[in-house]
Amino acid sequence: MIRTFFRQTLAVCLVLSAGSLAARPVGYADGYMLMIDATADYQQLAYTYSPSFRWSVSAGHARVEDIDGLDGNVSVSFVRSARLLHRWNLPRAQGNAFVWGGLGRARYSNAALPNGQAVWHAGLQLDYETRRIYTAWVTEYFNGDGWQFRSDVASLGIAPYEHDMDRMATWIVLKAKRSSGMRMDEINKELALRLFTQTWWVDAGVDQRGRPALNLMFNF
């Protein structure tokens, strides 16, 4: 009985780790990830290498629309490092805390502003997941010369079935997003269908204004 319980517990942890790593800033040890996040107001692309399951390094590019005070958009090319602060492995659930930070250079759509200015970037992610329920809070912050941008996203996901390691997982996810530092500072709701396997992740949805949102991730 104890042996059966141990095998079931180990299987649950493996399923959660395999499925969930695709949604997190640190991937498999000695693995690579390509991450794409695209909404109407914010787009980000990052290529990540994880030397271990505890930390990663990334190079990427982000674009933010209608930054307050800039009279236009800003694009940031950046490098950053992410760290797994703590992982809670429970019998039928898993929780994680991640932090990341980095530096970049800004380019502005407003021709009156000088390009190449330094930008610093930081973020935090907390998540908790069973095989049927997923919750997460992600905050990201960019700070440049005379401007700043912060994005906060709270997510609640429900899985219609419990997935195994060799099956595609399906989630229905409700997100509440708030972007600070843009001309339009409001809470925006989004409903998404999330599909993932051990090697890829697709999160496609629409917000309350009918605008599309897409998140893609591929593990190599």
Residue 8: predicted pLDDT: 37
Domain CATH code at residue 25? 2.40.160.40
Alpha-carbon distance of 165 to 183, in angstroms, equals 44
Alpha-carbon distance of 108 to 119, in angstroms, equals 12
> What phi and psi, each to the nearest 5 degrees, are found at residue 34?
-115, 120
Alpha-carbon distance of 156 to 146, in angstroms, equals 34
Task: Kindly report the pTM of this predicted structure.
Answer: 0.84
Alpha-carbon distance of 133 to 146, in angstroms, equals 41
Is 4 a residue whose pLDDT tops 80?
no
Q: Can you read off the two tokens belonging to residue 116?
A: 């190449």
3-class DSSP state for residue 94?
Answer: strand
Give the residues across from 100 on adjacent strands: 82, 123
- DSSP single-letter state for residue 182: B
Parallel/antiparallel/unpaired status of strands 31-38 and 212-219: antiparallel
By residue range, what is the domain housing residue 171? 2-219
Look at 7-16, 124-133, 184-193 and tell me which has the smallest mean pLDDT. Answer: 7-16
Where are the strands (E) in 4-92, listed by range? 31-38, 42-52, 55-67, 72-90
Mean pLDDT for the chain overall: 86
Q: Which are the contacts of 171, defined by CB distance < 8 A and separation ≥ 6?
A: 134, 157, 158, 159, 193, 194, 195
Q: What is the pLDDT of residues 73-128, one digit of tens each?
A: 899 999 999 999 999 999 889 999 999 999 999 999 887 788 999 999 999 999 99
Domain count for the chain: 1
Q: Which of 57, 34, 55, 53 has its CA nearest to residue 44? A: 34
Amino acid identity at 215: N
Cβ atoms of residues 93 and 129 within 8 Å: yes
Alpha-carbon distance of 28 to 90, in angstroms, equals 20
